[in-house]
Structure 1
Amino acid sequence: MLPAAEPPRPCCHRPRTLSSPCVMACSRTCSRILGLSLGTTALFAAGANTVLLFPNWDATYLWRGLIGKHAMLGSGLWGGGLMVLTAAALISLMGWRRGCFSKSGPCRSMLAALLSSGLALLGALICFITSGVALKVGPFCMFDVSSFNQTQAWKYGYPFKDLHNRNYLYDHSLWNSVCLEPLKAVIWHVSFFSALLCTSLLQILLVVIHFFNAFLGLFCSLCEKP
């Protein structure tokens, strides 16, 4: 009696070289996942920056021009948002082989990967730096100037910018005692700029993974036997 034939193993488990079509398929799958992930983070960054324009969900501060310069810069909208979202769309098209990437060669795909990586990296870095500076400077709010120059007056500005001997990020006693308006301005500022900082850092990590994935796809394409 003849022994039963061994069932065929999946493609990715066959002992082939890195130039096998299976590795190329895995690289394209990785591009699809990276494109979706980058697109999600871009939408989140845009949403976080939009919320910063409406402290306590109040639009009057925006109409009166009482929004901090870092939020008004909108780096989460056009940097970590639009630029990264555009790169994510290119990466997804490469992964799904749609549009102009349906029959693109390895060199063209690598060029598109470099352009999309550079675009996403630039947008994420702009958002990361802006968020870091915003957290260091502190929120834009109305505060009592008398605590600084002994005169009874209130004005809008950055009260934590000149506090060199105390860091408001660690001294939570300052959060509800310095800023008088908007309500809970420090919590609002710290929460959403921290979210932008973490989101842009995740975007940078995803861009690095995408670059190495694109390089692996190019290597496998060039080494593939005809």
Structure 2
Amino acid sequence: MLPSLCMLACSRILGLSLGTAALFAAGANMALLFPNWDVTYLLRGLVGRHAMLGTGLWGGGLMVLTAAILISLTGWRYGCFRKSGLCRSVLAGLLSSGLALLGALICFVTSGVALKDGPFCMFDVSSFNQTQAWKYGYPFRDLHSRNYLYDRSLWNSVCLEPSKAVVWHVAFFSALLCVSLLQLLLVVVHIINSFLGLFCSLCEK
């Protein structure tokens, strides 16, 4: 009886933790859609494709939140899980973990690519060729010799609009990267917890 109780208690904690992380991921992605809290960039279609993909909303957000709710329900033995046996609870937990794992992994990969490519902003094309013109794009993808993440002198000199575009991009995509990594670790812990609970209960019987 003790192993199953420990498994249920762990599921409650992990479900709450995953749900909180999912809300943080959704909030970070929402902020990326409104640079400097200005809605006009979104309305004009001047938001980067990594933010528009919304993986923090539907991947690290909705998918992980759905899984977190299911994990919490199994932990609290609530609703349809009230009279479910251990095997059914473990199976539901593993399916929920798979959903959360997929959502967190998608968010993690997208955030990593976004940090590599840099922000979508208006920059002076003459910095890269002889044509004097300003346009929106990804200026840091063309700087193969310099990594903008380590060269802070580029942060205020390349992107002309939105103001502090690099800081906004790096801050929130770094937050998404860290949150999705935390989600992945929590899911792995939950998978281990589910298998240990099942194994210990079978040995106890």
Q: What TM-score bracket applies, with the shorter chain setting the length?
A: over 0.9
**Is the CA contact (8 Å cut-off) linking 2:11 and 2:75 kept in structure 1?**
yes
The residue that corresponds to 1:90 in the other structure is 70
1:103, 1:218 → 2: CA distance? 16
Whether the aligned pair in 2 keeps the contact of 1:38 and 1:88 (CA below 8 Å) is: yes
1:94-128 per-position Cα deviation (integer Å, ceiling 9, x unaligned): 10001111111122112111110100000000000
1:27-82 deviation line (CA, Å, top 9, x unaligned): 11110000000000000000000000000000000000000000000000000000
SS of 2:160's equivalent? strand
- Give the structure 2 partner of residue 204 of structure 1: 184
The one of 12, 15, 18 equivalent to 1:32 is 12
Q: Which residue of 2 aligns with 1:51?
A: 31
Task: Identify the residue that residue 215 of structure 1 maps to in structure 2.
Answer: 195
> Is 1:106–1:222's contact at 8 Å kept on the other side of the alignment?
no
For 2:99, the equivalent position in structure 1 comes to: 119
Q: Please, what TM-score do these two structures have when normalized by structure 2?
A: 0.98
> Which structure has the greater CA radius of gyration?
1
AA aligned to 1:174 is: L
Match in the other structure for 1:11: none
Query: How far apart are the structure 1 equivalents of 2:15 and 2:138?
Result: 38
Matched position secondary structure for 1:149:
coil
- Hey, which of these two has a bigger chunk of helix by percent? 2
Of all paired residues, the percent bearing the same amino acid is 82
State yes or no: 1:183 paired with 2:163. Answer: yes
Which residue pairs with 1:142 in the alignment? 122
AA matched with 2:139: P
CA-based RMSD: 0.8
**Using the alignment, how far apart are the partners of 1:125 and 1:161 within structure 2?**
23
TM superposition outliers: structure 1 runs of 4+ over 3 Å: none
After superposition, the C-alpha distances for 1:4-37 in whole angstroms (9 at most, x for unaligned) are xxxxxxxxxxxxxxxxx12221211110000000
Letter in 1 for 2:73: L
Amino acid at match of 1:66: L
Q: Which residue of 2 aligns with 1:4?
A: none
Paired with 2:87 and 2:16, the residues of 1 have a C-alpha distance of 23
Maintained 8 Å contact 2:3/2:201: no
Task: Indicate the residue corresponding to 1:164 in structure 2.
Answer: 144
**Greater mean deviation of Cα atoms: 189-198 or 108-117:** 108-117
The equivalent residue for 1:70 is 50
What runs of 5+ residues in structure 2 fail to find an aligned partner? Answer: none
Specify the code of the residue in structure 2 equivalent to 1:180: L
Give me the whole-angstrom Cα distance separating, in 2, the residues matched to 1:61 and 1:174.
22
TM-score by length of 1: 0.89
Partners in 1 of 2:68 and 2:39 — Cα distance?
Answer: 31
